[in-house]
Amino acid sequence: ERVAVVGVPMDLGAGRRGVDMGPSALRYARLLEELEALGYLVEDLGDVRVPVAETLRGRKGPYLEEIRQAALDLKERLRALPEGVFPIVLGGDHSLSMGSVSGVAKGRLGVIWVDAHADFNTPETSPSGNIHGMPLAVLSGLGYTRLTEVFQAVDPRDVVLIGVRSLDPGERRLLREMGVRVYTMHEVDRLGIARIAEEALAYLDGLPLHVSLDADVLDPTLAPGVGTPVPGGLTYREAHLLMEILAQTGRVRSLDLVEVNPILDERNRTAEMMVGLALSLLGKRIL
């Protein structure tokens, strides 16, 4: 089985610097070597070109056109992959997932968005204006026309959010209106992550799946290297169990590992956590 790794060293969609170094941190945490040890044939396609934030200084954000171009380049790279190759996209801020999801969606696709946030803002509902708070809305057809015209790719009813604990008011309303399935941390506490995983899989019955994993879904004590931490996240065991249950279905086709911020991290432990989760999703077992 083949895996292709692509980096997107982009922080233009985030409110602070640093996630542009995420792809290096994830590679340094031995993602490729560990996948090879699992028996995968792994190819590193390198990074998508993203303008360096400092070269844009003096311009005011949001860097809509720069983000659009980087995500489009990612989309084209993923489109060009042969059938059966499993892409892992290394971020970078979450706005890159406009490119990854639209790049892998060929027909109906189920999206499992594992995140403390819903990233379902539009320019009207966003309090920050940061584009990494908008990609899931764009993929569902809402927000900047410059983005939806190239990235709309999913039916919001084929989207499941897991681990949510921070929503903006307008975003909450949009999620309801669009029929996105949301499992907040409240449901994780009440139902348990195994039950949620099974419900989500039954709900997305038979669809091929894309998993978009935002490091900030994890509890900040485990994953301090994120730009928008929210207390009360997934534990180590919950996060791994979720990946393992998804792995067992054999339906997952692609993965994003996003929002790792090495500047804010402690000795790369957030990147190491994310690599461990990727390995659980790709079938690493103890026995």
Helix (H) or strand (E) holding 163: strand 159-164
How does 170-185 read in b/e, with b if 16+ C-beta sit within 10 Å?
ebeebbeebebbbbbb
**Which range of residues in 3-11, 34-42, 127-135, 236-244 is near ligand ARG by CB under 6 A?**
127-135
Residue 227, token pair as written in the block: 């730009």
Given 132, 210, 240, 284, the residue binding ligand ARG (CB under 6 A): 132
Residue 270 lies near ligand ARG (rule: CB under 6 A): no
CA 169 to the chain's CA centroid: 22
For the CB of residue 167, give the shortest distance to ligand ARG in the complex, in Å.
7
From CA 67, how far away is CA 63, in angstroms rounded? Answer: 6
From CA 266, how far away is CA 226, in angstroms rounded? Answer: 11
Q: Is 210 a catalytic residue?
A: no
Residue 121 lies near ligand ARG (rule: CB under 6 A): yes
Partner touching 122 among Mn ion, ligand ARG, none, CB below 5 to 8 Å by kind: none
Q: Is 186 a catalytic residue?
A: no
Residue 11 lies near ligand ARG (rule: CB under 6 A): no
How many amino acids of this chain bind Mn ion (CB under 5 A)? 9
Given 47, 73, 259, 272, the residue binding ligand ARG (CB under 6 A): 259
Interaction mask 215-234, ligand ARG, x per CB under 6 A: -x-----------x------
Q: Is 11 a catalytic residue?
A: no
ω into residue 23 within 30 of 0, thus cis? no
**Annotated catalytic residue, options 47, 73, 216, 256:** 216
In the range 163-182, which residues lie near ligand ARG by CB under 6 A? Answer: 168
Residue 39, token pair as written in the block: 């028996």
Nearest to 159 by CA among 174, 144, 146, 169: 174
Q: Is 117 a catalytic residue?
A: yes
Given 214, 219, 256, 265, the residue binding Mn ion (CB under 5 A): 214
CA 185 to the chain's CA centroid: 18
Q: Residue 168 burial (CB < 10 Å; 0-12/13-18/19+)?
A: middle
For the CB of residue 23, give the shortest distance to Mn ion in the complex, in Å.
16
Given 20, 93, 216, 238, the residue binding Mn ion (CB under 5 A): 216
For residue 123, give every residue at least 6 positions away whose Cβ sits within 8 Å of its Cβ, in sequence order, or none: 129, 134, 143, 144
Q: Is 240 a catalytic residue?
A: no
Residue 117 lies near Mn ion (rule: CB under 5 A): yes
From CA 20, how far away is CA 203, in angstroms rounded? Answer: 34
Residue 169, token pair as written in the block: 């008011």
Nearest to 141 by CA among 130, 128, 157: 157
Interaction mask 235-254, Mn ion, x per CB under 5 A: -----x--------------
What does DSSP say about strands 159-164 and 181-184: parallel, antiparallel, or unpaired?
parallel
Given 100, 102, 126, 280, the residue binding ligand ARG (CB under 6 A): 126
Contact set with Mn ion (CB under 5 A): 94, 115-117, 119, 214, 216, 240, 280
Chain contacts with ligand ARG (rule: CB under 6 A): 94, 117, 119, 121, 126, 128, 130, 132-133, 168, 214, 216, 228, 259
- Name the residues annotated as catalytic: 94, 115, 117, 119, 132, 214, 216, 259
